[in-house]
């Protein structure tokens, strides 16, 4: 009993406080069980308003489960989820009005045109009849589907369907978009278009939660991320913060003029360095120290007269972070 | 604005003012879903095809009937007209029962299989609207067909022998059946993931429906010796007429109640469980049972006498003690079902629901028996059984010369204790976090065991000489619901209340024992609910009752 009361107090404080306006989604100690096993266990994170939030984890990590709970399609076993201060269990109506949800796998209705499909959702979201035509036109323009408005929905390509589904989530002008692996079925070109569209939507003031099991897909799109594995949160925060954190390791690739012995010894002595590979004249290692201390690495190498030709320093390499984190290297 | 323009656009302005309200009202019945379905189906010609096939079957059969009937020289025009009318009705009945379920049996499974259901459920459409939308989308063809077949019916009028009243009743039955069958299909489809399984299940039910209809039609004496010159409908009307226990209005009301149940159950399947799943069902059950009671017993004349003189009115007096006891039995079976179902709901209730019902204070406090959760389910069952027994005791004139006899009164007084004990057991199980399914299974098991008791005792009675202890057991006979009902059909002259158990009348002892058991179950249930952190009387605030359990596990 105690634990709930406490959780509730803090929630109430959150809803009433100044912070509420800045937080689009707040997940607190969320758990979901199927049978005996946890799909999501004690998950907590927050999504600030106006962010593109990457929700990242390998297959089966519990992303879809969490996003379905956010979309009021599943009930949590325990914990609390607030969307703009509204509880997804007790205030489903209010939550549904505020979110646009795009499932990871979805179908479209046979036998209707693109325009009719959007009309259906405009009706389902109770848009005033007089405004529907204008809204549908706007949404079609935004998603670049204007030319296809009379095409049958079932004849669209996967990328088009995906964009149509996104158009459908925009019809009622939600402030929060929940997109479950929207890029997984798309080709490279469609992915780039999707990315441009999402940035445009962010400019329009929407908060976007986007999930993926591939990190590179999101690393230059997202402004903050949460990484989960086996239903538990590994790390979450703004991208900038994650880069600065000590475990926000950089992958460094040093090319030598020619292979040289002693490189390994020189690098192993430095605590912030974790060697990944030495192949011929290419040395790859992870650097976890402060940026200001990196010269020490170079000094150790040059002291031993290692012929360094180039240093590639990938400072936004979230993939690396992701791989390390999900391996359980870092607590 | 000129006045002429005003005059011209008056209708338009009226429409403009009222159209939004009308459209909103339409929206409440899932209009967007119906519209989408219609658009898709008109394109696929599914609509025209189904209409064509059904009307074709009907037309061809009727023409065959006409040529067959008219070839028989001995037949009069009246007979031909009646035979045509009968075959029209039967074919329609079969088409509705056999073909139409296919339209509705996939209402939800289609959406699940096509992965479109999530988009629908995540929208702001209410579950009720989704169910209405799916219902109308699957029933609209059927209704159009039934109406479109009216011209074919007019053929039988050419021959005479059919009254307009029969035509009206026939159409009432066909339309009612269409609506009910569609709702059955929609309801079943909400239970399954695969269209094939839901369709199969629906057709198993259709088969049962066919068998039941055949039985009902045969019972009217249709096609037998004495029934020449009568149509099936007129025979049906007779069998539901004044002399029988169920009239046409009761059948209509029963069908409407069944429809409402199916609708609510479907809406409950569609909505997430945090929404209130139980209140409408409880309210409907409450109204249906009390309504059934009142409708069965009270002729307006009876009620008038009862209200004015307070003495004259004994319900069903003219229909004899057998009828009165039958009514008591029927009501108890219904209340017992309610007592097995509602207190076994989850003890946990969502905060939203508690807040809603917590606002019901003062004179509205009793309405909390409709609040979700096991505890209020128990309160509901107790209130329902107390109310129905009270109404029956008063209405059947207990204790009066012309009222029901002593044995029936004993049963009427004892049965509520049995029902309350069953309800308390259900509450106890729910408070111990049994899932509704297992709680109901356990309660049903107890019901079966206690129903079997009298048979054990009957065996024992024959062995009285072997062991006298059997004699005592035999007197515990009245602890079983079955024997309570049996005492209702027993010969009134042989008053079973004379049986004594340790010097106490058996029925009174049963009340003490059942009351004690009920109180013990209730107390244990309250303790268990407290320990698990489930709210009982408290409505405002508090955590979501689910949380503590999960917290323990974690
Ligand atoms: N309906 C379900 N029944 C049982 N287990 C499920 C169900 N849905 C998901 N799971 C399990 O929950 C875990 C998380 O699944 P999911 O949320 O779909 O992961 P993700 O979307 O990250 O790939 C998986 O181990 C999966 O097997
Ligand atoms: Mg997934």
Provide the domain limits for residue A135: 3-244
Taking CB atoms and an 8 Å cutoff, what residues of chain B touch A108? 116
Same domain as A18, residue A140: yes
pLDDT tens-digit readout, B195-227: 999 999 999 999 999 999 998 888 877 777 766
A88-92, A95-99, A113-117: least confidently modelled range: A88-92
Considering only residues A25 and B244, tell me which one the structure prediction assigns the higher pLDDT.
A25
Report the range of poorest mean pLDDT among A265-279, B237-251, B491-505, B531-545. Answer: B491-505
In a domain, A197, yes or no: yes
Chain A residues in contact with B20 by the CB 8 A cut-off are 128-129
Task: Tell me, yes or no, whether A324 lies in a domain.
Answer: no
Q: Return the structure tokens found at A48.
A: 């600030």
* B78 shares its domain with B146: yes
**Ranges A88-97, A192-201, A319-328: which has the least confidence:** A319-328
Question: What single-letter DSSP state applies at residue B76?
Answer: -
Q: pLDDT higher for A276 or B62?
A: B62
A278: left (phi over 0), alpha (psi -120 to 50) or beta: beta
Q: Is B110 helix (H, G, I), strand (E, B) or coil?
A: helix
Tell me the CATH number at A32. Answer: 3.40.50.300
| Residue A64 domain flag | yes
Could you tell me if B257 and B346 lie in one domain? no
Is residue B498, in this structure, part of any structural domain at all? no
The pLDDT assigned to A41 comes to 93
How many domains does chain B divide into?
Answer: 2
Q: Are residues B240 and B340 in the same domain?
A: no
Nearest to B545 by CA among B267, B273, B268: B273
Q: What is the SS3 string spanning B370-387?
A: HCCCHHHHHHHHHHHHHH
The listed range with the strongest mean pLDDT (A158-167, B17-26, B245-254) is A158-167
Same domain, A233 and A301: no
| Greater pLDDT, B308 or A331 | B308
Task: Examine residue B285 and state whether it is found in any structural domain, yes or no.
Answer: no
% chain B with pLDDT above 70: 74
From A30, A64, A230, give the residue whose CB has the most ligand 1 atoms within 8 Å, as the site to mutate: A64
Residue A109 lies in a domain: yes
Q: What is residue B69's predicted lDDT score, i.e. its pLDDT? A: 78
Q: For residues A99 and A176, is the Cβ–Cβ distance under 8 A?
A: yes
Residue B316 has pLDDT above 70, yes or no: no
In this structure, the answer to whether residues B226 and B341 fall within a common structural domain is no
The residue from A201, A216, A244 where one domain ends is A244
Taking only the tens place, the pLDDT of each residue in A7-33 is: 444 444 444 444 456 899 999 999 998
Check whether residue A238 and residue A267 sit in a common domain. Answer: no
**Closest Cα to residue B40, out of A167, A117, A106, A127?**
A117
- Banded model confidence at residue B277, pLDDT cuts 50, 70, 90: confident
How far apart CA A216 and CA A238 sit, in angstroms, is 16
pTM of the model: 0.76
My answer on whether B327 and B263 are in the same domain is: no
Domain co-membership, B61 together with B124:
yes
Task: Report if residue B101 sits inside a domain.
Answer: yes
φ and ψ of B245, to 5 deg: -80, -25
Domain end, chosen from B271, B303, B337, is at B271
Same domain, B156 and B75: yes
pLDDT for res B135:
94
Residue A321 lies in a domain: no
B384, pLDDT greater than 90: yes
Q: What is the pLDDT of residue A187?
A: 82
Of the pLDDT bands very low, low, confident and very high (cuts 50, 70, 90), residue B481 is low
Tell whether A9 and A153 lie within a shared domain.
yes
What's the pLDDT band for A50 if we cut at 50, 70, 90?
Answer: very high
Report yes or no: B84 and B159 within 8 Å, Cβ to Cβ: yes
pLDDT in tens, B84-130: 888 889 988 998 999 889 889 988 998 888 888 899 999 988 888 89
The answer to the question of residue B389 being in a domain is yes
Ligand 1, atom 18, residue with closest C-alpha: A64
Q: CB burial class (10 A; 0-12, 13-18, 19+) of residue B341?
A: buried
Looking at residue B179, what is its pLDDT?
A: 95
- pLDDT confidence of residue B251: 79
The Cα–Cα gap between B95 and B62 comes to 14
How many Å apart are CA B142 and CA B105, to the nearest integer? 13
Work out the number of other CB atoms within 10 angstroms of the CB of residue B72: 10
Q: What is the pLDDT of residue B244?
A: 52
Measured CA to CA, the distance from residue B63 to residue B44 in angstroms comes to 30
Q: How far is B427 from chain A (nearest CA, A)?
A: 21
> Is the pLDDT score of B23 beyond 60?
yes
- The token duo for B136 is 């109308």
Range of the domain at B528: 323-461+515-553
**Range in A107-121, B59-73, B245-259, B335-349 with the lowest mean pLDDT:** B245-259
Q: Which of A227, A244, A261 is the last residue of a domain?
A: A244
Give the tens place of pLDDT for each residue, A203-243. Answer: 999 999 999 887 777 777 888 989 898 899 988 888 777 76
The reply to whether B364 and B447 lie within a common domain is yes
Same domain flag for A155 and A289: no
Pocket residues: Cβ below 6 A from ligand 1: A 34, 39, 57, 59-65
Give yes or no for residue B261 having a pLDDT over 70: yes
Residues A157 and A234 in one domain: yes
Residues B267 and B337 in one domain: no
Q: A92-106, B409-423, B494-508 — which is least confidently predicted?
A: B494-508
H-helix segments, B192-319: 195-219, 232-239, 248-270, 279-297, 300-308
Tally the domains of chain A: 2
What's the pLDDT band for B64 if we cut at 50, 70, 90? confident
- pLDDT of A265-316, one tens digit each? 888 888 888 877 888 888 888 887 777 788 888 888 888 888 888 888 765 4
Residue A325: predicted pLDDT = 60
Between B255 and A214, the higher pLDDT residue: B255
Same domain, B54 and B196: yes
Flag whether B312 is in a domain: no
Q: Are residues B138 and B63 in the same domain?
A: yes
User: Above 80 in pLDDT, residue B326?
Assistant: no
Do A182 and A219 lie in one domain? The reply is: yes
In a domain, B469, yes or no: no
Residue B178 has pLDDT above 90, yes or no: yes
Residues B257 and B116 in one domain: yes
Burial B104-129 (b: 16+ CB within 10 A, else e): bbbbbbbbbbeebbbbbbbbbbbbbb
Task: Please compute the mean of the pLDDT values over residues B159-178 and round it to a whole number.
Answer: 86
Q: How far apart are CA B439 and CA B346, in angstroms?
A: 9
Q: What 8-state DSSP symbol labels residue A175?
A: S
Same structural domain for residues A130 and A277?
A: no
Give distance in angstroms: CA of A168 to centre of ligand 1: 25
Residues A157 and A303 in one domain: no
pLDDT for B3:
46
Residues in B touching A77 (Cβ below 8 Å): 546, 550
Residue at token pair 């406490």: A6
Name the residue with tokens 């004993």.
B410
Q: Check residue B16 and give its pLDDT.
A: 73
Q: Is residue B357 part of a domain?
A: yes
Tokens of A151: 């095409």
Is residue B176 domain-resident? yes
CB contact (8 A) between residue B119 and residue A121:
yes
Whether residues A186 and A128 share a domain: the answer is yes
Q: Is A311 in the same domain as A234?
A: no
Are A35 and A174 within one domain?
yes
Per-residue confidence (pLDDT) for residue B47, from 0 to 100: 72
Given a cut of 70, is residue A36 above it in pLDDT? yes
B542 in the Ramachandran plot: left (φ > 0), alpha (ψ -120 to 50) or beta?
A: left
Closest to B43 measured CA to CA, from A156, A157, A152, A161: A152
Residue A116 lies in a domain: yes
* CATH number of residue A311's parent domain: 3.30.70.2470
Nearest protein CA to atom 3 of ligand 1, as residue: A34
Confidence of residue B412 (pLDDT cuts 50, 70, 90): confident
| Contact present, B522 and B515 (Cβ < 8 Å) | no
* The pLDDT value given to residue B543: 41
Mutate to test the pocket of ligand 1, among A27, A31, A39, A104 (most ligand atoms within 8 A of CB): A39
């Amino acid at each position: 009993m105690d634990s709930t009361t406490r959780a509730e107090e803090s929630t109430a404080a959150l809803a009433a406080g100044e912070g509420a306006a800045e937080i689009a989604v707040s997940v607190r100690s969320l758990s979901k069980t199927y049978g005996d096993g946890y799909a999501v266990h004690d998950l907590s994170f927050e999504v600030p308003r106006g962010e593109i939030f990457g929700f990242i984890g390998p297959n089966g990590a519990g992303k879809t489960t969490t996003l379905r709970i956010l979309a009021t399609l599943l009930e949590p076993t325990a914990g609390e989820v607030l969307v703009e201060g509204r509880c997804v269990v007790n205030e489903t109506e209010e939550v549904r009005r505020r979110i646009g949800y795009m499932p990871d796998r979805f179908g479209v209705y046979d036998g209707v045109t693109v325009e009719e499909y959007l009309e259906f959702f405009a009706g389902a979201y109770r848009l005033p009849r007089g405004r529907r035509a204008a809204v549908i036109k706007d949404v079609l323009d935004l998603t670049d589907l204007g030319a296809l408005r009379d095409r049958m929905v079932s004849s669209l390509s996967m990328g088009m369907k995906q964009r149509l589904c996104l158009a459908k989530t925009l019809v009622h002008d939600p402030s929060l978009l929940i997109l479950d692996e929207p890029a997984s079925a798309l080709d490279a070109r469609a992915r780039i278009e999707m990315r441009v569209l999402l940035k445009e939507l962010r400019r329009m003031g929407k908060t976007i939660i986007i999930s993926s099991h591939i990190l590179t897909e999101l690393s230059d799109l997202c402004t903050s991320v949460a990484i989960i594995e086996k239903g538990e949160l590994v790390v979450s925060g703004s991208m900038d913060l994650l880069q600065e954190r000590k475990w926000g390791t950089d992958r460094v690739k040093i090319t030598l003029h020619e292979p040289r012995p002693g490189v390994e010894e020189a690098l192993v002595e430095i605590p912030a360095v974790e060697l990944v590979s030495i192949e011929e004249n290419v040395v790859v290692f992870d650097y976890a120290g402060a940026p200001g201390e990196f010269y020490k690495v170079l000094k150790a190498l040059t002291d031993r007269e290692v012929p360094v030709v180039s240093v590639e320093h990938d400072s936004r390499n979230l993939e690396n972070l992701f791989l390390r984190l999900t391996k359980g290297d870092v607590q | 604005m000129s006045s002429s323009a005003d005059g011209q656009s008056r209708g338009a302005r009226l429409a403009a003012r009222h159209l939004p309200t009308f459209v909103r009202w339409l929206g409440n019945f899932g209009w967007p879903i119906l519209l989408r379905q219609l658009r898709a189906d008109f394109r696929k010609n599914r609509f025209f095809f189904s209409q064509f096939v059904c009307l074709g079957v009907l037309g061809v059969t009727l023409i065959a009937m006409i040529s067959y009937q008219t070839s028989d020289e001995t037949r009069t025009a009246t007979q031909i007209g009646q035979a045509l009318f009968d075959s029209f009705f039967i074919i329609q009945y079969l088409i509705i029962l056999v073909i139409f379920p296919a339209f509705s049996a996939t209402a939800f499974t289609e959406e699940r299989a096509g992965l479109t259901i999530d988009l629908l459920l995540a929208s702001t459409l209410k579950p009720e609207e989704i169910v209405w939308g799916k219902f109308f989308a699957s029933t609209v063809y059927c209704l159009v067909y039934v109406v479109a077949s009216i011209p074919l019916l007019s053929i039988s009028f050419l021959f005479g022998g059919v009254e307009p009243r029969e035509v009206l009743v026939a159409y009432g039955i066909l339309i009612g059946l269409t609506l009910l069958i569609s709702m059955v299909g929609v309801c079943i489809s909400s239970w399954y993931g695969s269209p094939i399984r839901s369709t199969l299940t629906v057709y198993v039910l259709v088969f049962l429906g066919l068998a039941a209809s055949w039985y009902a039609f045969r019972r009217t004496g249709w096609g037998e010796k004495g029934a020449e010159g009568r149509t099936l409908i007129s025979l049906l009307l007779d069998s539901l007429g004044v002399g029988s226990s169920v009239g046409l209005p009761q059948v209509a009301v029963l069908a409407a109640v069944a429809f409402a149940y199916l609708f609510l159950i479907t809406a409950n399947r569609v909505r997430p469980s945090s929404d209130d799943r139980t209140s409408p069902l409880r309210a409907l059950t409450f109204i249906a049972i009390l309504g059934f009671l009142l409708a069965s017993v009270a002729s307006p004349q009876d009620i008038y006498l009862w209200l004015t003189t307070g003495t004259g009115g004994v319900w069903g007096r003219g229909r004899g003690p057998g009828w009165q006891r039958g009514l008591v039995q029927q009501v108890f079976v219904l209340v017992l079902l309610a007592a097995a179902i509602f207190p076994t709901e989850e003890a946990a209730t969502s905060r939203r629901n508690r807040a809603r019902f917590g606002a019901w204070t003062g004179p509205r406090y009793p309405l909390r028996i409709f609040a979700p959760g096991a505890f209020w389910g128990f309160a509901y069952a107790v209130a329902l059984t107390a109310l129905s027994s009270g109404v029956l005791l008063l209405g059947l004139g207990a204790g009066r010369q012309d009222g029901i006899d002593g044995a029936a009164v004993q049963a009427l007084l004892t049965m509520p204790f049995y029902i309350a004990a069953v309800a308390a057991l259900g509450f106890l199980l729910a408070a111990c976090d049994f899932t509704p399914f297992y709680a109901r299974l356990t309660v049903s098991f107890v019901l079966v065991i206690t129903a079997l008791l009298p048979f054990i005792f009957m065996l024992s009675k024959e062995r009285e000489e072997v062991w006298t202890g059997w004699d005592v057991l035999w007197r515990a006979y009245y602890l079983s619901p079955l024997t309570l009902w049996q005492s209702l059909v027993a010969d009134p002259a042989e008053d079973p209340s004379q049986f004594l158990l340790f010097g106490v009348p058996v029925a009174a002892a049963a009340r003490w024992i059942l009351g004690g058991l009920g109180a013990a179950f209730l107390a244990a249930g309250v303790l268990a609910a407290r320990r698990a952190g489930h709210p009982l009387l408290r409505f405002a605030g508090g955590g979501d009752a689910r949380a503590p359990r999960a917290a323990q596990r974690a």
